[in-house]
Amino acid sequence: MLVLQRGENGVVTIGHNAEVRITVLEVRKNGSVRLGFEADPSLPIHRLEVFESIQRQKAADAAMERIERDDPWEERCDGC
């Protein structure tokens, strides 16, 4: 893990061509930090809990597709 220290308006870039740009917008008295993210709209940016939820949903959808595709009842039922 790379650890950086930046003050307000400090910027970090990610990627060879700075595909993602992260700016410290505000450092609050309670220690929380507001960040701004700039990236191509085709690059999704999510908080970790949102990303994990999306991954769980994708896994559940894929499992359901496998069940529907591999359902032996479909073959025996012949459309009933």
Q: Summarize pLDDT for 14-69 with one digit per residue, the tens.
A: 999 889 999 999 999 998 999 999 999 999 999 999 999 999 999 999 888 887 77
Distance CA 68, CA 55 (A): 20
Check if the beta carbon of residue 27 is closer than 8 Å to that of residue 8: yes
Q: Summarize pLDDT for 5-16 with one digit per residue, the tens.
A: 999 999 999 999
Does the pLDDT at position 80 exceed 80?
no
